[in-house]
Amino acid sequence: MTATVVPADLVVAAQGGDRAALDRLLGEHLPLVYNIAARTLPPADADDVTQETMIRAMAGLAGLREPASFRSWLVAIAVRETRRRGSRLGADRQHFTVADTDEFLTDEAGAAEEAVHRLEVARQRRTLAASTGWLDTADRELLALWWLVQVGAMQGSELAPALGTSPAHTRVRLQRLRSRLETARHIMEAIGARQRCAVLGEVIRAWDGRPAPVWRKRLARHVQDCRRCAGARAGLLPAERLLVSLPLLAPPPHLRDAAAAIERAGVSAAAPLRGRLLKGAGVVAAVLAIVLGVGAFVLDRPPAPHVVTAPPVTTTAPSASSAPTPTIAPPKAVPIGAGAGFGGPTWPAGRKPPTQGGRYLYVSDKGDDSNSGRSRAEALRTLRRAAELTAPGDTVLVDDGEYGDPRRSSVVTIERSGTPKKWITWAAYPGARPVVRASQWQGIWVHASYITVSGLTVTGKRTALTQAQIAAARRGDVSDPAVSNSCIAVTELRNADPPRRPHHVVLWGNTLTDCTLNGISVQFADYVTAAYNITARNGWYSPYGGSGIAFLNLWNSDTRTGYKMIIRGNVSSGNQNLVPCLCSGAARRITDGNGIIVESLNNDDIRGAPLFQQPYTGRTLIENNIAHHNGARGINVFKGAHVDIVNNTLYRNAAHPAITIDLAVTRSRDVRVVNTVVVPGAGSPAAVVSGSTEVRFDHNLLVGEFDTPRDEAVLTSQPRFTDAGGGDFRLAAGSPGIDSGAAALAPAVDAGRVPRRQPVDRGAWER
């Protein structure tokens, strides 16, 4: 890879919607971006930064005014994202790596090898890498870029734009970096000398071995003045010669698949980038739907030590033979937000999800239910047939296309369970965007246990309803399932003997839109995780009152009282009710349309089995979610218990004129609200607690009026989001929410699964 001038006409073509041009831009610059990140970050973090950089580059490409500056503009994005990720990790996890370079020397290393033995050069490279521990973060960042200049991957003139400084200031920084790096190398050579200076040995006796500024100054003074230590640095090669011998790192294959997926997800050859809905921060959610790595899925297991969650990810899954072009994208009426709620597959496009010792079963809209389903060429046609064949450990891979079954109550009913060690996984084929059309009561109906559903798009009938159907719904007619369907429902199988109640179910990274009851409905279940889903425009016309995510009437499958129900990292928007709820009786009021609701956990409103007359005793965790522009509350806890609401962001919910309050806790007990940011709409309180006991508010940011238990650390000023109108609710520089949250209960990662640093921020994002 050499630094080449990017033709301006190529950039202009990509800006105009030319897929081939965009593919070339992304493909040719992927190694550059990866090397910026990979020289200073751990591999997994470098992968994430590379993907995030490419996503942001595509999102902002239309706004690039000078096409000739594309490379320096892209490098600046990569540097910024690397810096951001590095700040989360902390200095102890950042480094300038020379790992594996001894086996992959470039041609430029030949001159050095002729002058010094190969092993000595390798030793000096390792010492140089260790010496970077004495540099601060800014110097390590500059060193990585300087190395790219040395190997010809960047031009020297690109350094200043990448760093956001003037050329003169950049030259000064480079001079200082060279000086500090040489001093650090001298220190490391003196400490590592075979016959170490005795005086130096006494100096470092009290040293704990970790680089620190005070020790750098102390040791630097000694090695610069000591003749004995000066001998240890004799024969050192210039840093430039060592840097030029470091090979460029090859991006992992799955990153190239991810780049291709980004290009497929965000660009249409028929429509220019300018003016499209996929712009700015909003594109992040849309394209991350395809490029997320499976490692993030493991990270997002429920935290309670006794919870059996999704099985561990293996590394032996076969590679996908191809990545089909998506054919359908869910409609977008409101921005769905960036960061959380990625709504897509949870593994790279080049890797299939693990089978956990079972089989792969393939489903395609071009398949046939008479096939075996054991290969892509022998794919089944319907999800229902796949459900009849699954066994513990199996993975069902659903290819591109549309899947529906208007004659049945659901498109697929999952009744076969996995086991604690062999979950059954239902997932989109890597790179595919299958769409399940829910026309009856449910799209996907889960009655089983140890089940994962991931990466699927489920859409309901909202936009296809007739005026006659809507009018009947307004009158309270519930006979038509099309006006009361849920995208995914996890509920009991009542006609089983005894009734089968699901537990240990994970709904991860799905896109659930336009269902007329709930996006996600969980009832009579235990140990359910709903994480990183998009739920949008659900609940509009059901007389039952629906929401984006609804957990209600939960049951105790065991006696444990830790976290069992997890609602994490979802984006819920545009959900509302437009017809009165039957639950309001003769009053006939609008009651629901929440982003997230947890209700009726006392189970005193259920008639029937004695099991449901016992209150639910497990804890429910609602963290890192973003709820905005919903008709009812962003988060609503009604007749709930043992609920923690932590680091969520709520923005202008309660949009329906009949509803107020963005965050409501009503007739509930044992509820904790921590580090949550609430910006209500005009005339609506941010938060209200009524008829409840044992409710605690701590370190929240509540704008406007609120009626809650006293919060000693509450903030009331505007949080200063990056771009709330575009669905980007990250805190901008200067936000009062930055570094002002409470550590207790704070999640380890933020909505983007980036580690939180201390002190933590308020809201779903960590800056």
Query: 187-214 pLDDT, tens per residue?
Result: 888 877 777 888 888 878 777 777 777 7
Question: Rounded CA gap, 503 and 522, in Å?
Answer: 10
Average pLDDT of the residues in 737-764: 90
pLDDT digits (tens, 9 = 90+) for 386-406: 999 999 999 999 999 999 888
User: According to the per-residue pLDDT averaged within each range, which of 229-243, 713-727, 752-766 is highest?
Assistant: 713-727
640-690 per-position pLDDT tens digit? 999 999 999 999 999 999 999 999 999 999 999 999 999 999 889 999 999
Which SS3 state, helix, strand or coil, does residue 45 take? helix
Percent of the chain with pLDDT over 90: 38
* Mean pLDDT, residues 579-590: 78
In this predicted model, what pLDDT tens digit does every residue of 605-642 receive, in sequence order?
A: 765 544 456 899 999 999 999 999 999 999 999 999 99
The pLDDT value given to residue 474: 87
What is the token pair recorded at 528?
Answer: 């359910």
- Answer whether residue 576 shows pLDDT above 90: yes
Lowest mean pLDDT among 140-154, 324-338, 723-737: 324-338
Residue 185, number of CB atoms within 10 A of its CB: 23
- 467, pLDDT greater than 80: yes
Quick check: 576 and 546 in contact, CB under 8 A?
no
Is the distance from CB of 564 to CB of 597 less than 8 angstroms? no
Look at strands 721-723 and 728-731 and give their pairing: antiparallel
At 226, the amino acid letter reads C
For residue 236, pLDDT over 80 is answered with no
**Look-up of token digits 């549309």:** 402
**Residue 707 confidence (pLDDT) above 50:** yes
Q: Is the pLDDT of residue 601 over 50?
A: yes
Taken in order 262, 265, 269, 272, is the CA torsion positive or negative? negative
pLDDT for residue 288: 32
Banded pLDDT at 363 (limits 50, 70, 90):
very high
| pLDDT grade for 347, boundaries at 50, 70 and 90 | low
Tell me if residue 648 falls in helix, strand or coil.
coil
The arithmetic mean of pLDDT across residues 267-292, rounded, is 33
Average pLDDT of 66-77? 83
Q: Comparing 581 with 106, which gets the higher pLDDT?
A: 581
| Res 92 pLDDT > 60 | no
Distances (CA, A) of 636 to 523, 552, 668, 701: 16, 12, 11, 17
User: 317 pLDDT band (50/70/90 cuts)?
Assistant: very low
- Give the pLDDT confidence score for residue 85 in this predicted structure: 78
Residue 462 has pLDDT above 50, yes or no: yes
Please write the tens of the pLDDT for every residue from 477-526: 888 888 888 999 999 876 665 677 899 999 998 999 999 999 999 999 99
- What size, in residues, is the chain? 767
pLDDT at 437 over 70: yes
* For residue 43, cis peptide bond before it (omega within 30 degrees of 0): no
pTM: 0.63
Nearest to 659 by CA among 570, 539, 576: 576
Q: Which domains does the chain have, with CATH numbers?
A: 1-97+250-279 (1.10.1740.10), 105-246 (no CATH), 285-354+393-405+412-731 (2.160.20)
Determine whether 504 is exposed, middle or buried from the number of CB atoms within 10 Å of its CB (0-12, 13-18, 19+): buried
Check pLDDT > 80 for residue 591.
yes
Higher pLDDT, 309 or 130: 130
Q: Residue 707 belongs to what H/E stretch?
A: strand 706-707
Give helix 8-15 / helix 19-38 axis angle, nearest 10°: 110
| Mean pLDDT score, 98-107 | 38
Residue with more model confidence, 387 or 59: 387
- The type of residue at 39 is R
Average pLDDT on 80-105 reads 56
Average pLDDT over residues 537-551: 92
Q: Scan for tokens 């200067």, then name that residue.
A: 734
Q: Among 93-107, 212-226, 285-299, name the one with the lowest average pLDDT.
A: 285-299
Looking at residue 336, its pLDDT comes to 32
Region of 365 please: left (phi>0), alpha (psi -120 to 50) or beta.
alpha
Query: CA nearest 742: which of 696, 704, 691?
Result: 696
Asked whether residue 109 carries a pLDDT value surpassing 60, the answer given is no
pLDDT at 281: 33
Q: Is the pLDDT of residue 76 over 90?
A: no
Which of these, 644, 524, 520, 645, lies nearest to 594 by C-alpha position? 520
pLDDT of residue 343: 39
C-alpha span between 139 and 445 (Å, rounded): 54
